[in-house]
Structure 1
Amino acid sequence: MRRRWPFHDRAVPVISWRIVILLVAVLAEAWNIKNMLASGEPATEHFAYFTVQSNILVIILMLWMLVAQGHRPAWFDHLRGAVTAYIVLTGVIYAVLLAQPDEVWSWSIEFTNAAQHRIVPALVGLDWLLVPTIGRIRIRRAVWWMLYPVGYLVCSWLRGALIDGWYPYPFLEPGVHGGWAGLLWPTGQVLLAFCIGIFLVAGLGALRYRTAPDARARSSSSLTAKPSSTSSSPHSNSSP
């Protein structure tokens, strides 16, 4: 008899590490907000960082998975995959493009930096690898996951060019690269990283779905079944 896959939405270890992810993400962002208020940093700048936004998305995702285990729409797995891709790529791009050379492997950095760029991305990525999706991930549909990064890019450029001249990251700022044409290479690198990362996450999700059928069956059983119109119950078709 084939042994059941131990990691599913209702498994105690899964619930436990999702609570840890939630607590770390909430604490890190609460710490960030405290520092924002103390330093006078404008909220319009703080919440414009992709790092902050992706960590807030993780908080929402973890709350949803912990609280509403049996009430998820059909598109939920794609939402989970997209948020996973965003937060993992947040950590990768920080390490490759934004971190100082002495910060890449150092753990002497401040808590919020470590939590939002390393701990949360690693734990969410592990969650995606260990807990199969409820529905099948269609890899070709992952192209829609790119809408948010591309929209973020466009909105950041529009804000910087037309509103207040502020850009959240150096690779988005024309003045740092000698004008708009100079942004082609750094921005292209980031977009390529997102494209590769998103389809890699989607591919891993599709692979895990196929290789853990017992976990898939157990997870799907947690969804609320829709009542059948042919139910023998005399009240099956009554409305409140």
Structure 2
Amino acid sequence: MPEQQSLGRATSGVVGAIRFAFGALTAVALGVQAYHSASEGRSLANFFSYFTILSNCSMTVVLLVGGVLGMAGRRGVPDLLRGAVTLYMAITGIVYAVALAQYEALGTIPWVNDVVHRLMPVVIFIDWLAVPPRRPVRWTQALWWLAFPLLYLPYTLIRGPIVDWYPYPFLDPREKGYGHVVISSLVITLTFLGVGVLLVWAGNLFRERRVVQMAHADKG
């Protein structure tokens, strides 16, 4: 048993170091892009109004805090918080691949674009599966994950006419009208729900497998 506990602490330290490294990478990417945007005279308020940036910021905090706690041998951030940022980053990756990759990212540094849109959505999803929730995630709990995107939509639509700027073409009513925005929002909402269901199912499935493996290890 002491050997297993030592192995568990060592594994927690390794996972913590990996999380911290990816969190630091994303923090650097966001910082470099924010500085680059500001130096070119672009609004930082607009920069931090992208769902992508807000999702990456929240994920960065979770990874850095979780990394430090893991390396210290302590319990990491709550799994529901991990699940939330995993959902937001998954949607970031999916929406970028499906709807935004075709648009030229004006002023975005290419390697930063790759980090926030391509690399980190995959990394955080793997993290969710590799270190599944300690307790089963209930569907009612996971519904809280939708709070942020549901608040982001009215924020964007209210702020847009005031500053005459929208972060994404599918949320911009100036050319195709609000009907297009409504349809796009419904599609994205359904995508949130679908991906959220997948994350809950996968997290609980991998948790059950981990429990079975630990039970077999204890018997051995």
Q: Please give the TM-score of this superposition, normalised by the length of structure 1.
A: 0.76
> Residues of 1 paired with 2:10 and 2:130: CA distance?
10
Q: Any residues of structure 2 matched to 1:68-217 within 5 Å, and which?
A: 68-69=69-70, 70=74, 76-100=78-102, 110-161=110-161, 163-177=162-176, 179-213=177-211
In terms of fraction of residues, the more helix-rich structure is: 2
> Residues of 2 paired with 1:57 and 1:181: CA distance?
31
Deviation string, structure 1 residues 170-220 (Cα, Å, up to 9, x no partner): 11111132x212322222211111111112112111111211116789xxx
Does structure 1 residue 20 correspond to structure 2 residue 21? yes
Which 4+ residue blocks in structure 1 deviate beyond 2 angstroms?
Answer: 6-13, 67-73, 214-217
Structure 1 spans left out of the alignment, 5+ residues: 104-108, 218-240
> Residues of 2 paired with 1:32 and 1:7: CA distance?
37
Q: Contact 1:7 / 1:131 at 8 angstroms: preserved in 2? A: no
> Residues of 2 paired with 1:134 and 1:189: CA distance?
32
% identical equivalent positions: 31
Structure 1 residue 17: deviation in Å? 2.3
* CA RMSD of superposed structures (Å): 2.6
Of 198-207 and 134-143, the range deviating more from structure 2 = 134-143
Of 179-188 and 208-217, the range deviating more from structure 2 = 208-217
> Residues of 1 paired with 2:12 and 2:75: CA distance?
17
Aligned-partner SS, 2:85? helix
Structure 1 residue 71: deviation in Å? 5.2
Aligned-partner SS, 1:23? helix
> Residues of 2 paired with 1:121 and 1:204: CA distance?
16
Aligned-partner SS, 2:163? coil
Structure 2 spans left out of the alignment, 5+ residues: 216-220
Q: Contact 2:171 / 2:181 at 8 angstroms: preserved in 1? A: yes
The amino acid across from 2:119 in the alignment is: I
Q: Please give the TM-score of this superposition, normalised by the length of structure 2.
A: 0.83
Higher RCO, 1 vs 2 (CA within 8 Å, ≥6 residues apart): 1
Aligned-partner SS, 1:212? helix
